[in-house]
Each structure stands twice: as C-alpha cells, then as structure tokens.
Amino acid sequence: LQSKFPDLGLTIFSRMSALAQETGAINLSQGFPDFAVDADLQAGVTQAMAAGHNQYAPMPGLPALRAAIAAKFASAYGLAVDANSEITVTAGATQALYTAIAAVLRAGDEALILEPAYDSYAPAIVAQGALPVRVALAPPSFAVDWDAVAAAITPRTRLIIVNNPNNPATSVFSRADLDALAAIAERHDLLVLSDEVYEHLVFDGRQHASVLSHAGLRARSFAVYSFGKTFHATGWKIGYCVATPELTAEFRKLHQYLVFSVSTPMQAALAQHLAEPTHWQGLAGFYQAKRDRLAPGLEAAGFRLLPSAGTYFQLADYRAIRPDLGELAFAEWLTREYGVASIPVSAFYADGRDHGLVRFCFAKREDTLDAAIAKLGRLA
C-alpha cells in the first residue's frame, strides 16, 4: 500500500504515555485527569441503561442534553443558542473538529492554523486535499500577531482555526483578539473553527471570550466543546459543536454518516449532570489550585515557568537544567531518569522548532502532583 499519509506517525500523546507506562513514570504528559468521575454522573449512566435508553440517540443528540447545553450557554455567558438547530452532540471534540473541517473545506482550499497547534487540525485539513497554512506564535506570551495572520491569507483561504484557551500555549483570547479575528474573517469572508474545549479552565479571574459571544464571529463560526474536559471523563469521548442553523445543517450532513449519533446512556447522564450549574462553575478554581500546587515544585527543581492563564497545562523552560538537550530528548530523559513524563512543545509545530519548553499536565490528584514534585526535587 502506498500510504496516503506517509508523514503521519503515532501522536506524541500516545508516545509519551507509552513511555511513562513502560518506565513506571508519573504521567504528566497526555492531558487526562487521574481522579474519579463524579459518582452521581457515573450512576446516571447505569440508571439510563436500566431505564432502557440503550438504542440510537437522535442524530443531532438527545434533546435533553441539547437543552441542557443551551441552558449552560445562557447561564454561563448570557448567550442564546438554539438547542434544535444549533447544537450537535459528537464523539468528543475530535470528531466535531474533523466534521467541521470536512464539511467546509474543498480540495485546494487553504486553512490557517496558529502554532503551536493541537495535533488533530492539520491531518484533518490534509485529508480533505486542503492545505494547512501556519502562523507561528512565540513564547513567552504566545500572543497572536493578527497582522501576521492577515498577511498569511490568500484567495484560497477558506477557514481559520483557533484554540482558546490554547493547548499547549495556555494563553487565552481577550475581547480585542476576538475583534481582530472578526475583522479579518469578515474582510476575507472566512469561516472560523474555534476549539473551546477548555472554556471553563481560565484562571486568575479571567473570563472566557467565546466566538459565540461576538456578533460578527457568531455568524461565521463553529465552536467546539468536550465533556471530557468539563466532567473529567476524557474516555467517554462526548463533545458538541455549536454553529448557526445554516452551518449546523452542513455539519450534520456529514455527522450523520460519520457516526450518526453517540452513546445514548452517557448523553442521558450528561444531560442531568450539566443541568446543575454548580457542577461546572467551580472548575476554574479547582484547577487553579492544582496549577498553584505544581508550580512551586517545578520552580524549586530548576524550571522557569511560563504564565498559565488557562487549560490544565503548565509550560516550563528547562534550559537551566539541561541546556544541551532538545525538547523531545529532554522529555524522554526526564521520564527515564527522574520518573516524570511531559510533552515536548516542538510536537505542536510542523517544523519541530525548539524553544526549550515542555508541557506538564496538572489535572491530577494532589498526591500525584506531590509525588511528581518529590521526584523532580532530585534535580535541584
């Protein structure tokens, strides 16, 4: 077989998680919580199964879940989202991202992505015969240079993909970023795909600036979310896409043939759980405390930390510890020699550029974070 994707290998998340497992290291690489999913939410799944909710859900998602999602947008952001025509429940954010990309890109189109970029965007673009055009953001702030974005636009540009809060940069958009994005999208008649899976994980009193809250962007954006992040259940693989009725209709044309619908009992349980705002309102504080528990331990070990404004990741500059190693080599060395796994940030740049940075995930129990700090303490 002549591979259609000769350049695609195993993702960095699979690779570093496998190394952590093989070496018995504490896994702060791939982003997933190591603590339990809420017991009531779990019980909701078995209750739904016992009550007979075991057959196909309606293609766009269970009405009760879509209603709860719409209520969340109203209560969290004061936003009106129509449950019937604007929300589609998907197999994680990953399927929502893929579906939106496949629904709008034609062969030969260009799609702008901002690097460091989450790893699923470019392959989804390439699979459509379209071309990812990359604009690089730089540490420490990873602020978007919107003039550079505008300069990367050509007559073939159709879509711009943004990720806010940003994995792995941990930066968040301001209202001014939304205005700048909207001005560019309107001027060039572009669609926007906004990956907002970390919407509730914004720290130090910041407010999440969703594309859905900006009138200009609301009309031309797909916004993507994940219950994996919000309810600590990455293995459930349930997310959703919000877009205007017109964009949603195009999205659903493909969604119905990619998966048709996703797990009925889990949707039923999520609908109940989401309906109680306290189940997601405290998330920022919950994760901010974990960020602030890990940070001093990393600093004491000799890392220089970049500010983490959102997501459940912390970027750390290791060059005071091992200036001689590139990011991947450092991450592997730290895993093998000190028993803590991380992710090299170079994995999020197509050219593999190296800033001397690794990403630690702090979505972990306190004892896990403390054990990692103790292991890294041997570096000091």
Q: In 23-42, which positions are buried (b, 16+ CB within 10 angstroms) versus exposed (e)? A: eebbbbbbbbbeeebeeebe
Q: Does 47 bind ligand PMP (CB under 6 A)?
A: no
Q: Does 100 bind ligand PMP (CB under 6 A)?
A: no
CA 213/CA 228 separation, integer angstroms: 23
Q: Cβ closer to ligand PMP: 338 or 348?
A: 348
Site string for ligand PMP, 178-197 (x = CB under 6 A): -----------------x-x
- Contact of 123 with 157, CB cutoff 8 Å: no
- Closest approach, Cβ 119 to ligand PMP, in A, equals 9
Residue 226 touches which of ligand PMP, ligand GLN, none (Cβ within 5-8 Å per kind)? ligand PMP
CA 310/CA 287 separation, integer angstroms: 9
Among 27, 88, 128, 163, which residue sits at the site for ligand PMP (rule: CB under 6 A)? 163
- Closest approach, Cβ 26 to ligand GLN, in A, equals 15
- Closest approach, Cβ 220 to ligand PMP, in A, equals 20
CA 121/CA 11 separation, integer angstroms: 13
- Provide the token pair at 67: 């209603």
Residues 223-242 that bind ligand PMP (CB under 6 A): 226, 228, 234, 237, 239
Give residue for tokens 């209560």: 75
Positions in the binding site for ligand GLN (CB under 6 A): 11, 13, 30-31, 167
Residue 116 touches which of ligand PMP, ligand GLN, none (Cβ within 5-8 Å per kind)? none
Q: Please, what's the largest Cα pairwise distance for the chain?
A: 60
Q: Cβ closer to ligand PMP: 233 or 331?
A: 233
- Contact of 262 with 90, CB cutoff 8 Å: yes
- Closest approach, Cβ 36 to ligand GLN, in A, equals 19
Query: Which residues in 65-177 belong to E strands, given as ranges?
Result: 87-90, 110-115, 131-136, 157-163
Residue 244 touches which of ligand GLN, ligand PMP, none (Cβ within 5-8 Å per kind)? none
Residue 30 touches which of ligand GLN, ligand PMP, none (Cβ within 5-8 Å per kind)? ligand GLN
CA 299/CA 305 separation, integer angstroms: 7
Tell me the site size for ligand PMP, rule CB under 6 A: 14
For 305, the enclosing helix (H) or strand (E) is strand 304-305
- Provide the token pair at 249: 């209709």
CA 13/CA 21 separation, integer angstroms: 12
- Closest approach, Cβ 224 to ligand GLN, in A, equals 12
Q: Does 248 bind ligand PMP (CB under 6 A)?
A: no
Q: Cβ closer to ligand GLN: 13 or 77?
A: 13
Residue 93 touches which of ligand PMP, ligand GLN, none (Cβ within 5-8 Å per kind)? ligand PMP
Q: Cβ closer to ligand GLN: 31 or 339?
A: 31
Site string for ligand PMP, 68-97 (x = CB under 6 A): ------------------------xxx---
Q: Does 61 bind ligand PMP (CB under 6 A)?
A: no
Q: Cβ closer to ligand GLN: 30 or 210?
A: 30
Peptide bond into 168 cis (omega under 30): yes
Bridge partners, residue 111, by sequence: 132, 159
Among 72, 102, 105, 118, which residue sits at the site for ligand PMP (rule: CB under 6 A)? 118
Give the length of the chain: 380
Give residue for tokens 């528990």: 293
Residue 13 touches which of ligand GLN, ligand PMP, none (Cβ within 5-8 Å per kind)? ligand GLN
Query: Which residues in 105-217 belong to E strands, given as ranges?
Result: 110-115, 131-136, 157-163, 191-195
Q: Cβ closer to ligand PMP: 92 or 339?
A: 92
Give residue for tokens 């909710």: 53
Give residue for tokens 């899976």: 197
